[in-house]
Amino acid sequence: MRLKFYSVRCLTPWLLLLAACAHGKPTRSESTEPLELVTDVALPGGATRFDYQDVDSVHRQLVVAHMNDNAVEILDLQDGSLRGRVTGIATPRGVVVAPDINRIFVTSKPGEVVIIDSTSLKEIRRVKTGTAPDGAAWDPVEKIVAVSDQHDGALSLIADGGDGTRHQIPLGVETGNVIYDSARRRFWITVVRPSQPDQLVAVDPVSSAVTERIDLPGCQRAHGLRLHPDGRSAFVACENNNLLMRVELAGSHGIARAATGQRPDVLAIDPGIGWLYAAPESGDVAIFDINQPGLTFVGHAHPGENAHTVAADPATHRVFFPLMRSPSGTPVLRIMKPKGQNPKPTD
C-alpha cells in the first residue's frame, strides 16, 4: 500500500485513512512475512519488560535496557552473546550511545541518567535529570546529551558529555522520544500538549531555544520518533490511536499516515535497505519502505509477544527483538533478518 503525501487541510483522504486505521493494521494483500529468524539467544535476568536499545557500530555491540530487571545488557552484534551487564539501574528506559566519547547514556527512574563506559562496560557516574526520564539523544558537535523528562513535559540538556550543567526546557504536559538532527544541528522531540494537536518540536542545543513547532493533527499521544536518513522527514508513532506519521520537516509540513499494530512504541530504521520498523505493544511489527514517497507498506512481522522494542544493524541488516519470554519462559534476544538478505559477517 502506498500513501501519498498530502496537506493537513485535505480532510477527506485523512478521514478515509483513519477509518482504515481503526482496524489496527494497514490494508494489504496477503503475503508471507518479510522477516525470517536467524537465531534466538538466551538473555540473563528475569522474564520482565525490556525497553529501548541502541546500536554501537564502533564497538559492534547492542545496548538493551532490561527495564523491569533494573539492568542494562550489552550484547555482541554478531551473535547476540552477552558482553556485559550493568545492574542496579532503577527502571532503565532510554539508551543512546556516544561513540566519539566512549560513553553510553541510560535514563533511569525517578530522575537520573546513568553513564556507562563503552569499553569497560562499567558505570562511570550518575547525573540528575527531570521526572520519569524516557528517551535520550546525543549531539556529537556540542557534546550535549538530551533527555526527555516525560512526566515534566520537558527536555533536559546536559553539557560536557553529561558532566556539565543541566538546562531544562518546558514543552508540554508530556514528552516522548528525542533525536538529534545532524543536518540542522537541532534536537527534535515529540510533545503531548494540554490540548490537541500534539507536536514535533525542534530545540537548539546551544541556546536551548525552541526553534520550530510542527502540529501533528490526529496524532494521539505522540511518542516514538526517528528521522529519515536524508533528513527531510521525521517519523512519529502515535501511541494511543495506532498510527504512524511521516512529517515533512520543510515547507508546508505535509503529513502521510498509516496504521500500525496496537500502541506503537519503538521505531527503528535500517538505512541500507530503507526499511522502517514500527514495534507496538501488541507485537505486530509493521514494516515500511521509506525509499518510496509517503508510507509504503512492506508487511507485518510477528517476532513474539511484547515485541514493542526493535533495533536494526545497518551493517548486517539484522533486526533485534528482546522478548520477555521464550517458549521455555525465560528472556531471549530474537535475531531476524529480511528475507533474501545474506550479508557477510563483520569483523
CATH number of the domain enclosing 282: 2.40.10.500
Structural domain contains residue 205: no
CA 347 to chain CA centroid, nearest Å: 26
Percent of the chain with pLDDT over 70: 89
Closest of 196, 287, 216, 308 to residue 257, by C-alpha: 216
Tens digit of pLDDT for each residue in 205-215? 999 999 999 99
Break the chain down into helix, strand, coil percent, rounded to 5: 5, 50, 45
Percent share of the chain, pLDDT over 90: 87
7 falls within a domain? yes
In a domain, 33, yes or no: yes
- Joined together, the cell numbers standing for residue 185 give 544541528
Q: Is residue 313 part of a domain?
A: yes
Asked if residue 130 is part of any domain, the answer here is no
**Average pLDDT score over the chain:** 91
Q: In Å, how far from its chain's centre is CA 152?
A: 20
- Assess whether pLDDT exceeds 80 at residue 29: no
The confidence score (pLDDT) of residue 20 equals 39
DSSP string covering 162-215: GTS-EEEEE-SSEEEEEEEETTTTEEEEEEE-SSSPEEEEEE-TTT--EEEEEE
Q: Is residue 6 part of a domain?
A: yes
Residue 2 domain boundaries: 1-47+217-347
Nearest one of 64, 24, 19, 22 to 41, comparing CA atoms: 64
Residue 333 lies in a domain: yes
User: Which run of H or of E encompasses 68?
Assistant: none
Residue 15 pLDDT: 39
Length of the chain counted residue by residue: 347
By three-state DSSP, how is residue 271 classified? coil
- Mention every residue, 6+ apart, whose C-beta is less than 8 A from residue 31: 299
pLDDT digits (tens, 9 = 90+) for 35-94: 999 999 999 999 999 999 999 999 999 999 999 999 999 999 999 999 999 999 999 999
